[in-house]
Amino acid sequence: MMLHIPGVLSREQVASMRRRLDASNWVDGRTTVGAQGAQVKQNRQLAEGSPLAQELGAEVLAALANSPLFFSAALPLRTCPPLFNCYAGGEHYGDHVDGAMRRVAASGQWLRTDVSTTLFLSDPDEYDGGELTVVDAYGEHEVKLPAGDLIVYPSTSIHRVAPVTRGARICSFFWTQSMVRDDMRRCMLLELDQNIQSLRARLGDCTELVNITGHYHNLLRQWSEV
Ligand code: NI
């Protein structure tokens, strides 16, 4: 499932983050990948665990906590501290798949990457290129979103970032271990939840809707691992 969630950060939040990011020091992005990724990755990142990354990462996590749609789509068990990257001057990231397991430095805890998220902090007119392309069973999907919007996609997918040929593409990115490991099950639960919300708005809580809501929760009980 790929899902675009608009307006996770307000314009003011984006502007404030950008002021701090634009004045920051970026390091080689290959510090956070394995051997295969290092061969195709060419970008810069905020140093993992740096005070600025921690501060901005906490803001991103707080914004996610206010997004019922992110919760419904990702069913997050835990999300690793958000990272921040910058592509400019032809920088790019070739086809790769995100590592299955990540160790969160602060806690020492392992996290299985089920859901990948890219939160855009540059508007599309600030740069040329830089499209995120995600490949799935239905083909290739190109993503370039307004600042403050995010895209959620399965961490199992092969994806890439096209060379940025003008300006700079600044994003936050992070991984979530979901309570529901399987992407198709998460997708079914999201659709069910969205249809329940829509029917409830139209009909109120009739007996059938209470029953269907019960089925949603019973499926989640069957499929979740915490
Ligand atoms: Ni990736």
**Centre of ligand 1 from the C-alpha of residue 62, in Å:** 23
CA 21 to centroid of ligand 1, rounded, Å: 21
Q: Give helix then strand counts, H and E, for the chain.
A: 6, 16
In tens digits, the chain (226 residues) has pLDDT values of 999 999 999 999 999 999 999 999 898 888 777 777 778 889 999 998 899 999 999 999 999 999 999 999 999 999 999 999 999 999 999 999 999 999 998 889 999 999 999 999 999 999 999 999 999 988 999 999 999 999 999 999 999 999 999 999 999 999 999 999 999 999 999 999 999 999 999 999 899 999 999 999 999 999 999 9
95 is in an annotated binding site: no
115: enclosing H helix or E strand: strand 115-120
- What is the full DSSP assignment across 169-184? EEEEEEEEEESS--HH
Is 136 within any annotated ligand binding site? Answer: no
The annotation status of 159 as a binding-site residue, yes or no, is: yes
How many Å lie between the centroid of ligand 1 and the Cα of residue 213? 35
Ligand 1 center from residue 65 Cα (angstroms):
23
User: Rounded to the nearest 10 degrees, how much is the dihedral formed by the CA atoms of 159, 96, 131, 53?
Assistant: 110
pLDDT of amino acid 29? 86
How far does the centroid of ligand 1 lie from the alpha carbon of residue 118, in Å? 9
What type of residue is 101? M
Q: Any idea how long the chain is?
A: 226
Task: Find the helix packing angle between 51-65 and 11-22, rounded to 10°.
Answer: 170
User: If you measure from the C-alpha of residue 130 to the centroid of ligand 1, how many angstroms do you get, rounded to a whole number?
Assistant: 13
- All structural domains of the chain, each given as residue ranges with its CATH number in brackets, are 3-178 (2.60.120.620), 183-223 (4.10.860)
**The pLDDT value given to residue 35:** 76
217 is in an annotated binding site: no
Q: What is the 216 CA–ligand 1 centroid distance (Å)? A: 31
CA of 16 to the centre of ligand 1 (A): 26
Residue 41: predicted pLDDT: 86
| pLDDT at residue 37, as a whole number | 76
Ligand 1 centroid vs 209 CA: distance in angstroms?
Answer: 39
Q: What's the pTM?
A: 0.94
How many angstroms separate the alpha carbon of residue 193 from the centre of ligand 1?
Answer: 28
